[in-house]
Amino acid sequence: MQANADLNNNTPAPRKSKKRKKKVNWTLTSVMMVLAIFAILGPLYITIVIALKDPSQMSNVLSLPKQIHWENFKNAWQMTNFPKMFLNTLFITVVNVIFTIFTNSMAAYVITRYRLKNKFFNMMYYYFISAMFIPFNVIMLPLVKEVSAFHMDNIIGITFLYIVFGLPQNIFLYSGFVKEIPTALEEAAEMDGAKPMQIFFKVIFPLMKPMHATVAILSFMWTWNDFLMPLVLLSNPDQQTLQLAQYVFQGQFSTQYNLAFASYVLVLLPVLIMYVFFQKYIIAGVTSGSVK
Amino acid sequence: MQETIKRKPKRKGKKIPFAYYMMVVPIGILFFIFHTIPFLRGVFYSFTDWSGYGTWKFVGLKNYLYMFGNSNITHAYWFTFKFALFATILVNAIALAIAVGLNGKIKYQNFLKAIYFLPYMLGSLIVGFVFKFIFGNMLPSLGRALHWGFMSSNILGTTHAWVGILIMTIWQGLAFNTLIYLAGLQSVDPEIYEAAALDGVNPWQKFMRLTFPLIAPFFTINLVLSVKGYLMVFDQIMAMTNGGPGNSTTSISVEIYTQGFQGSQFAVQSANAVVLFIVVLTISLIQLRVLNKREERLG
């Protein structure tokens, strides 16, 4: 293998094609493949086959369904009030992503650009960064009191809180990115008489696109899968999310596993479909959100 | 104010336009109202006997002292620390091994990477429900069929329930950590290995002396995020055991939730939240310091 690598060294081809020519380690490939199929896809396979069966076919859980019971999905759909929960969750997720990108990037841009020139913005920077160390679990008891006093214990209220609570992490993410943008463009725009808002939205905002993608993905994943915030803040049955509904309906599903699993599949499906199509961007986005 | 007088076009002392303040201050105020004030109120309540409604009075450190004498709360800390320790070590060790495997000379690398990352996409509540079924129904019936005594009962109903939660947590936690380690491994320049190969080091030495120091920053990220995340463990416990059997799998977060909202311990659990905050903050800062120092030494 070493000789192989040395040989390739002599060719002036770029690194990518060099990788291609490497000898494939088939033992390792099979180990990784078997592990992926059994350990990772196994539980998903179980989830899907149970959702498609009826109780009489449950004696052998792992077998493929002899007869597919689509009505499980129909029943779970009605039982958990799926359309309402889905729209609630979709509303929270979409509105949060859009508002987070605009408001948080704006704040992060100003803070990053002016914190070395201005004490106030420098203070804001440290204020937000230190807030990253305060987990939600720490503030949830008093927050619930405050939220019900403001009558914000509903979908719109929680969406608003997601936008605000994302600030520390997003300022951290955007700030690392803004630092790399040269100031020349803004200075040129300023010379041409552009106003601050125009400079931000016309010049800077489009340049932040890769970080918008990361922030959008992380915000989406957070709100779609979050359980704790809806659990403590949303009590009205009409104002619940998909995740919370799964918890609330546990008692009603009781031992109707097929129905429960059909319901889980309904919740997982939108995310899985999205993953199939945008897998490359999601992986890149999550990586660049954690690693500089 | 004074800038209106000196209007010389000087770059350095230039006034920051009002519009820029408007881009930060309103959302900063909202953050203060909905994040900082609840935090400060929580600290405040922890020194009172407030039950969530009605009148209250200051009780000093009574809630904190009560916490250390309350076996439910001390057990929650013991369980959470044990869980966070095992989860952090196992998730990081296995994730690193998978990342090394994925970084090897394998085929279908991108496909496999996508599969291993998949669990990250799934909510831990639902993954918890699925594993609850696997431990509660599937494995026991398999164990009975095979006459394997240790597998014929539901692990989540025994004193080993925490192991079940740990397994589910590892299954899901691997996704993110593997991705970060893989990013680290792929950032290493292959020429370094070629130089090392000439010196005749074996693969293990190569990994410990070359690869590991080079991916140390990625190790730091993973470790800090893992510990912080696992000290907050909540969703999967609510899904799998609800803190039971008894209170054996009640984590600090579960304790704050159940006793603070449903019990009558609003003030005591406020104190608990403050202690949790101090614990998380201290551990994160120590980790960052120690790991950054080691990185410097290694680098």
CATH, residue A95: 1.10.3720.10
Cβ contacts (< 8 Å) between A110 and chain B: which residues?
20-21, 23-24
Question: Which has more confidence, B93 or A55?
Answer: B93
Q: For residue A261, is it within any domain?
A: no
Q: Mean of the pLDDT values across residues A91-102? A: 96
A173 and A223 belong to one structural domain? yes
pLDDT tens string A126-160: 999 999 989 899 999 999 999 999 999 999 999 99
B192 pLDDT more than 90: no
Beta pairing partners, B58: B48
Q: For residue A76, is it within any domain?
A: no
**Cβ neighbours of residue A147 closer than 8 Å, sequence gap 6 or more:** A153, A157, A161, A233
Check residue A22 and give its pLDDT.
65
Cβ contacts (< 8 Å) between A104 and chain B: which residues?
27
Q: Measured between alpha carbons, how far is A209 from A216 in angstroms, rounded to an integer?
A: 10
Q: Mean of the pLDDT values across residues B281-288? A: 90
pLDDT class for B177, splitting at 50, 70, 90? very high
Closest residue by Cα to residue A103 from A212, A199, A238, A261: A212
Q: Measured between alpha carbons, how far is B166 from A17 in angstroms, rounded to an integer?
A: 42
Is residue B101 within 8 Å of residue A28, measured between CB atoms?
A: yes
Q: Does A269 touch chain B (CB under 8 A)?
A: no
Check residue B2 and give its pLDDT.
46
A216 pLDDT more than 90: yes
Question: Which has more confidence, B187 or A21?
Answer: B187
Q: For residue A112, is it within any domain?
A: yes
* Helices marked H in chain A: 2-10, 15-21, 26-35, 42-52, 71-79, 82-99, 105-114, 119-131, 136-149, 155-165, 167-178, 184-191, 196-198, 205-207, 209-225, 228-233, 242-248, 250-253, 257-290
A28 pLDDT more than 50: yes
Q: Mean of the pLDDT values across residues B269-288? A: 93
Residue-averaged pLDDT of chain B: 88
pLDDT class for B13, splitting at 50, 70, 90? low
**Cβ neighbours of residue A192 closer than 8 Å, sequence gap 6 or more:** none
A104 and A226 belong to one structural domain? yes
Q: How far is CA B6 from CA A187, B11, B12, B15, in A?
A: 21, 12, 13, 10
pLDDT class for B213, splitting at 50, 70, 90? confident
The parent domain of residue A62 ranges over 2-69
B137 pLDDT more than 80: yes
pLDDT tens string A248-277: 988 888 778 899 999 999 999 999 999 999
A186 and A278 belong to one structural domain? yes
Check residue B211 and give its pLDDT.
85
pLDDT class for B258, splitting at 50, 70, 90? very high
Percent of chain A surpassing pLDDT 90: 64
Structure tokens at B190: 């292959």
A61 and A93 belong to one structural domain? no
Check residue A59 and give its pLDDT.
78
Helix (H) or strand (E) holding B244: none
Q: Measured between alpha carbons, how far is B260 from B155 in angstroms, rounded to an integer?
A: 28
Structure tokens at B126: 């639902």
Q: For residue A244, is it within any domain?
A: yes
Q: Measured between alpha carbons, how far is A206 from A202 in angstroms, rounded to an integer?
A: 7
Which of A6, A264, A279 is closest, CB to CB, to B114?
A279
- CA-based nearest distance B42→chain A, Å: 6
Check residue A21 and give its pLDDT.
55
Boundary (domain end) residue, out of A21, A45, A69: A69
Beta pairing partners, B48: B58
| Residue A156 CB neighbours (<10 A) | 12
A97 and A9 belong to one structural domain? no
Q: Measured between alpha carbons, how far is A52 from A72 in angstroms, rounded to an integer?
A: 7
Boundary (domain end) residue, out of A69, A92, A112: A69
Check residue B149 and give its pLDDT.
77
3-state secondary structure of B201: coil
A119 and A238 belong to one structural domain? yes
pLDDT class for B6, splitting at 50, 70, 90? very low
A208 pLDDT more than 80: yes
Structure tokens at B174: 């691997």
ipTM: 0.87
Is residue A44 within 8 Å of residue B133, measured between CB atoms?
A: no
Q: What's the CATH fold of domain B71-298? A: MetI-like fold (1.10.3720)
pTM over 0.90: no
Q: For residue A171, is it within any domain?
A: yes
Q: Mean of the pLDDT values across residues A108-133? A: 92
For chain A positions 12-31, those within 8 Å of chain B (CB to CB) are 15, 22-26, 28-29, 31
A97 and A64 belong to one structural domain? no
A152 and A62 belong to one structural domain? no
Percent of chain B surpassing pLDDT 90: 61
A140 and A236 belong to one structural domain? yes
CB–CB contact B121 A282 (8 Å): yes
Question: Which has more confidence, B273 or B191?
Answer: B273
Check residue A98 and give its pLDDT.
97
- Count helices and strands in chain B by DSSP H and E runs: 16, 0
A34 and A109 belong to one structural domain? no
Number of domains in chain A: 2
CB–CB contact B118 A135 (8 Å): no
Is residue B180 within 8 Å of residue B113, measured between CB atoms?
A: no
Boundary (domain end) residue, out of A38, A69, A100: A69
A91 and A55 belong to one structural domain? no
Q: For residue A263, is it within any domain?
A: no
> CB burial class (10 A; 0-12, 13-18, 19+) of residue B247?
middle
Residue-averaged pLDDT of chain A: 88
- CA-based nearest distance B70→chain A, Å: 19
Cβ contacts (< 8 Å) between A144 and chain B: which residues?
261
Check residue B209 and give its pLDDT.
82
Residue type, A266: L
Q: Mean of the pLDDT values across residues B71-98? A: 96
A90 and A203 belong to one structural domain? yes
Q: Mean of the pLDDT values across residues A224-239? A: 93
| Residue A111 CB neighbours (<10 A) | 28
Q: Measured between alpha carbons, how far is B130 from B17 in angstroms, rounded to an integer?
A: 55
| Residue A42 CB neighbours (<10 A) | 14
Q: Does A9 touch chain B (CB under 8 A)?
A: yes
Spans of all domains in chain B: 71-298
Helix (H) or strand (E) holding A225: helix A209-225
| Residue B131 CB neighbours (<10 A) | 25
Query: Which region among A2-11, A137-146, B199-208, B255-264 has the lowest average model confidence (pLDDT)?
Result: A2-11
Closest residue by Cα to residue A47 from A289, A236, A217, A272: A272
Which of A25, A47, A267 is closest, CB to CB, to B106?
A25
Cβ contacts (< 8 Å) between B284 and chain A: which residues?
133
